[in-house]
């Protein structure tokens, strides 16, 4: 269980650091993936920073209840992105779906190990 939790949190950190930097610096890849800088994109950056902060904190605390909540929220928002973006062609949508599957696997491991 601890390995999967660690991997999910590291995945969040490894993905979100460059994404947040790209959004802050308004790089060309961020513009092509997330669109031009808008208030909505700024709000998304705030959400990403909150997930990054929570992932970093939980990496050290490893409180399973909080990890479960973080991963559940991420899975819901990541699975709804194809609906809200209305495409599967966007690289953010694709990466969200892949990460959601990984986080779901982590939750399955947690569930199995706590229900033995």
How far CA 78 is from CA of 23, 27, 85, in Å, comes to 18, 22, 11
Say whether 38 sits in a helix, a strand or coil: coil
The pLDDT of residue 1: 85
CA trace torsion 71, 92, 11, 17 (10° rounding): -110
Euclidean distance between CA atoms 111 and 116, whole angstroms: 9
CB 61 within 8 A of CB 5: no
**The model scores a pTM over 0.85:** yes
Residuewise pLDDT in 10s, the chain (116 residues): 899 999 999 999 999 999 999 999 999 999 999 999 999 999 999 999 999 999 999 999 989 999 999 999 999 999 999 999 999 999 999 999 999 999 999 999 999 999 98
Residue 24: the pLDDT is: 98
Q: How far apart are CA 97 and CA 37, in angstroms?
A: 24
Residue 75 phi/psi, 5-degree rounding, is -60, -45
Domain boundaries, the chain: 2-114
């Amino acid at each position: 269980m601890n390995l999967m939790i660690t991997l999910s949190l590291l995945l969040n950190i490894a993905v979100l650091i460059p994404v947040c930097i790209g959004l802050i610096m308004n790089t060309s890849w961020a513009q092509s993936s997330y669109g031009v800088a808008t208030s909505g994109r700024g709000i998304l950056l705030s959400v990403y920073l909150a997930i990054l902060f929570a992932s970093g904190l939980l990496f050290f605390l490893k409180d399973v209840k909080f990890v479960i909540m973080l991963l559940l929220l991420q899975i819901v928002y990541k699975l709804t992105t194809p609906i809200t973006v209305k495409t599967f062609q966007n690289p953010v949508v694709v990466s969200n779906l892949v990460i959601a599957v990984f986080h779901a696997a982590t939750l399955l491991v947690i569930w199995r190990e706590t229900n033995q």
